[in-house]
A = this chain, B = another copy of it.
Amino acid sequence: MFTLAILSHHQQIDVANFSLNAEQMGLPKELPIQISQSCLVGGKQAGSRIITLTVGETTVRIVPTRAMAVLDAVRNGVRFGWQSPVKEIVHPNFINQEASGGSGWLDGFNEMVVRCGYQWAGHPGQDGDEFLTLHGRIQNTPADEVMLEVEQIPPYRVTLRGRVDEKRFKSTNFEVETCLSLSIDEPYLTIEDILTNKGSYDREYQAIYHNNFAQPILEKGALLHVPVKELSPFNDYAAQGLEDWNKIPAPTKDFDEMVFNVRPISDENQLSSALLHNANATSGIEVTYQTDTLPVLTIWKNTDTEQQGYVIGIEPGTSFAYNRRYQRKLGLVPTIQAGETKRFMVRFGLLTDEHQVSASKAHIDALQARQACQLSTRPLVSLDA
């Protein structure tokens, strides 16, 4: 195993810019494996870093400075991710999450995989005595103990770990061990995060994996396939689009966003999958997740203009995107006990041919065949004025 400590307080290591090829990592010289890190400059990205992993046909970019977010992935020429109007990889120091009614988080929102949580996730607003900012604090927290591991035998699995803390005296004492891995022989990118409550008291927590996808997969005629137990619109506006919830329109001025709440069907291993594929079903993104810890799915249909960030979110979570105050009665604000760990697994299938797409669709159809889909026309929650 080749290992490299990229950033570590304990080891006093901070590697900054580097680039390693297969040979330099003790791998067969001709293997298409390349790892590098780049320190960004200019504007609000000063201090941000990008780690690029090329493993076989897949290149994935990770932002350790923003909680090990996945910026994007490219496989066989197909890009997975989106084009946010926010172009910079904004360093957390330039984000004030309290700004503008708790929506400052949006100043840096542009990655493919964005973690929301873990003290809370969801929309900003008051929850009892607490004011919650949009989607929690984790995404604007830089990682420590960023470690690379490359297996030196087939399938040459490459693993990137990083720890992200969410701590405040007398409050949350969470540590998140993030782990992203991929290997040379498969179209998968796997995220396995372990949340630990290091405090002496049980705490509420929430997690949403805000996974975002756009062109070239997203286009007029693209389709979502989700094995649905129950589906309901997030609010009255989404209710108007309920019938077409899984059909993708062209970029549409004034569409803004429609959000759908899904309780998915999962298999005997507690796995469920959602698929978005392009109009002719030749490429797609499959999001597979463990429903024991991520029991619900948010579909965020933000098919406004390209400049506004034409994008679909496929977001497994402990919770929907409502403010936390609405979700206790839905049973979607779980507790993590003192010393307990919670494991979140999300696997991304980067599908770049029609066989992969149709296999994924068949798998989802089989899940749906187990149970009828219930569509509710009314939001689960009556939002305050």
Interface residues of A (CB under 8 A from B): 7-9, 12-14, 38, 40-47, 84-88, 92-94, 96-101, 103-104, 106-107, 109-110, 129-131, 133, 141-146, 163-165, 167-171, 173, 198-201, 253, 256, 304-305, 307-309, 338
Contacts of A256 in B (CB 8 A): 170
**Contact (Cβ within 8 A) B308 A170:** yes
Residue in B42, B85, B142 whose CB lies within 8 Å of A199: B85
Smallest Cβ-Cβ distance to A201: which chain B residue:
B308
Contact of A167 among B8, B38, B87, B168 (CB under 8 A): B87
Contacts A99-B97, A168-B107 given; does A42 touch B87 at CB 8 Å: no
Cα–Cα, bound, A45→B164 (Å): 12
> Looking across the interface, which residue of chain B has its beta carbon closest to that of A9?
B42
Contacts of A46 in B (CB 8 A): 47, 142
The residues of B that contact A129 with a CB separation of less than 8 Å are: 101
Given contacts A100-B131, A200-B253, contact A307 B43 (CB under 8 A): no
Roughly how many angstroms separate A309 CA and B253 CA in the complex, as a whole number?
A: 49
Report, nearest first, the 8 A-B pairs whose CB atoms are least far apart. Answer: A43-B144, A9-B42, A42-B144, A14-B41, A200-B305, A106-B169, A93-B93, A200-B307
Closest B residue by C-beta to A90? B167
Shortest beta-carbon distance from A165 to chain B in Å: 6
A7 CB contact (under 8 Å) in B42, B109, B170? B42
Q: Are B198 and A307 in contact (CB under 8 A)?
A: yes
Q: Which residues of B contact A200 (CB under 8 A)?
A: 253, 304-305, 307-308
Q: A101-B131, A200-B305 are in contact. List 11 more A-B contacts (CB 8 A).
A: A9-B41, A9-B88, A43-B141, A43-B163, A88-B167, A97-B99, A100-B130, A103-B171, A106-B170, A109-B169, A170-B256
Could you write out 18 A-B pairs with CB less than 8 Å apart?
A7-B42, A8-B42, A9-B43, A12-B41, A14-B42, A42-B143, A43-B142, A44-B141, A46-B142, A85-B167, A86-B169, A87-B165, A97-B99, A100-B168, A106-B170, A107-B167, A170-B256, A200-B305
Contact B145 A42 (CB under 8 A): yes
Taking CB as reference atom, which chain B residue is nearest A10? Answer: B42
List the B side residues contacting A45 at CB < 8 Å. 9, 144
Point out the residues of chain B lying under 8 angstroms from A97, CB to CB: 96, 99
Known: A85-B198, A101-B130, A199-B85. A43 touches B165 (CB 8 A): yes
A201–B256 Cα distance when bound, in Å, is 11
B94 and A92 contacting across the interface, CB-CB below 8 Å = yes
Please name all residues of chain B whose beta carbon is closer than 8 Å to the beta carbon of A94 when the two chains form the complex: 92-93, 141
Task: Tell me how far the C-beta of A14 lies from the nearest C-beta in chain B, rounded to whole angstroms.
Answer: 4
For A141, list chain B residues within 8 Å (CB): 43-44, 94
Bound Cα distance from A145 to B88, whole angstroms? 13
Instruction: Please indicate the chain B residues that have their CB under 8 angstroms from the CB of A168 in the complex.
Output: 86, 100, 103-104, 106-107
Residues in B whose Cβ lies below 8 Å from that of A167: 85-88, 107
Which of A12, A97, A129, A133 gathers the greatest number of chain B CB atoms within 10 Å? A12
In the bound complex, CA of A46 to CA of B144 (Å): 10
**Nearest B-chain residue to A91, judged by Cβ:** B93
- What's the minimum C-beta distance from A5 to chain B, rounded to whole angstroms? 10
CB neighbours of A40 from chain B (8 A): 9
* A106-B171, A129-B101 as given contacts; A41 in contact with B7, CB under 8 Å: yes
- CA separation between A100 and B193, bound complex, in Å? 26
Known: A130-B101, A169-B106, A308-B170. A143 touches B86 (CB 8 A): no
- Residue on B nearest A306 in the bound complex, by CB: B200
Residues of B near A165 (CB, < 8 A) are 43-44, 87-88
